Amino acid sequence: MNRGLVASARKKLLRRGRALLRGAHGRPDALGQLGESEVAELREIHAALERIERGIFGRCESCQAAVEEDRLEHLPWERHCGPCRGEELLADSGSSDRAIA
């Protein structure tokens, strides 16, 4: 994995995490002030930072292939490569189709 990309992703992740927490106005119960989507994003950020520390950042959690670098530049907490993301989306849409039918 490109070291520059990992360093850049780490900075972006930390910056975004701080911004989310600042949005909660720095209160002691800051997480209680965040919405569900913000808490989920913080969890993704934390998980991505852990992957960086473990040396597995940029590897797909499903197949272990490399996640596209351009994708990681824009969404540094991405967990899956393109093909696995596609399969995940198909599985999600398939289950919702079955629920409607």
Domain enclosing residue 47, as ranges: 3-100
How many domains is the chain partitioned into structurally? 1
Q: Residue 56 corresponds to which amino acid?
A: I
**Mean pLDDT throughout 83-101?**
59
Give the integer Cα–Cα distance in Å for 36 and 55: 29
- With 0-12 / 13-18 / 19 or more C-beta atoms within 10 angstroms meaning exposed / middle / buried, residue 42 is middle
Query: pTM surpassing 0.85?
Result: no
Q: What is the CATH number of the domain that holds 48?
A: 1.20.120.910
Tell me: the pLDDT tens digits for 46-79?
999 999 999 999 999 999 999 999 999 999 999 9
